[in-house]
Amino acid sequence: MKSLLKPFLLVVLLTFSLASLAQELQVQDPYVRAVPPGSPVSAAFMELHNQGSEQRTLVAASSPVSEVVELHTHTKVDGVMQMRRVESIEVPAEGKTLLEPGGLHLMLINLKETLTPGSQVEITLTLDDGSQIELSVPVRKTQMQPMSNHQ
Ligand SMILES: [Cu+2]
């Protein structure tokens, strides 16, 4: 029953800022990884869907729960997966970009509070045209994976 999905999508859409261009970029299924108390970092994942005819580029993100939010990717260095900061995350015209474990993600660095499963984290995405997308992202318990090293 596909109508089940609609209320959820509507909630996500309503959290968008008013910039009309930003509405062409839809965020689906966002979540933040729950981490044990005292853990300094966590990561956020989501699907970015671009319905517009031009590429959209994510250049920054921020959240009240951490001092810094960086855009990260994973790359293999000498056979070892490492996380690395990237300047931007592109979403192709009429395409999508996945932020997922083992790939692109938003890194929440120096957490100011414990991320409890079921709570919501506010995250603001900033695009290269200056428009912003405000998200309320659920904290989800995920299978713990060993954290990769940062360079
Ligand atoms: Cu990272």
Q: Beta 149-150 vs 80-85: how paired, if at all?
A: parallel
Counting runs of H as helices and runs of E as strands, what totals does the chain give? Answer: 1, 11
Query: Which amino acid is present at 61?
Result: A
Task: Evaluate if residue 19 carries a pLDDT over 50.
Answer: no
Task: Evaluate if residue 10 carries a pLDDT over 60.
Answer: no
Per-domain residue ranges of the chain: 2-142
Output the CA 25–ligand 1 centroid distance in Å.
23
Give the number of other Cβ atoms within 10 Å of residue 139's Cβ: 21
Residue with tokens 């999905």: 5
Name the pLDDT band for 142 (thresholds 50, 70, 90).
confident
Name residues with Cβ closer than 5 Å to ligand 1, which is an ion.
Answer: 72, 83, 107
Output the CA 108–ligand 1 centroid distance in Å.
8
Output the CA 19–ligand 1 centroid distance in Å.
29
DSSP 8-class letter at 16: B
Helix (H) or strand (E) holding 9: helix 5-14
Output the CA 69–ligand 1 centroid distance in Å.
9
Output the CA 4–ligand 1 centroid distance in Å.
33
Question: Which one is predicted more confidently, 1 or 141?
Answer: 141
- For residue range 39-73, list pLDDT tens digits in order: 999 999 999 999 999 999 999 999 999 999 999 99
Output the CA 43–ligand 1 centroid distance in Å.
7
Residue 51, C-beta contacts closer than 8 angstroms, at least 6 positions apart: 24, 25, 26, 94
Output the CA 81–ligand 1 centroid distance in Å.
11
Determine the Cα–Cα distance for residues 42 and 70; give it in Å rounded to an integer.
11
Determine the Cα–Cα distance for residues 14 and 114; give it in Å rounded to an integer.
27
Q: Alpha carbon 80 to chain centroid distance? A: 24
Residue of 64, 48, 54 lying closest to 16 (CA atoms): 48
Question: Which one is predicted more confidently, 145 or 108?
Answer: 108
For 2-142, the fitting CATH number among 2.60.40.1890, 1.20.1630.10, 3.40.718.10, 3.40.50.300 is: 2.60.40.1890
- For residue range 124-134, list pLDDT tens digits in order: 999 999 999 99
Query: Which amino acid is present at 107?
Result: M
> Cα-flanking dihedrals φ and ψ of residue 86, to 5°?
-120, 155
Output the CA 5–ligand 1 centroid distance in Å.
30
Residue 38, C-beta contacts closer than 8 angstroms, at least 6 positions apart: none
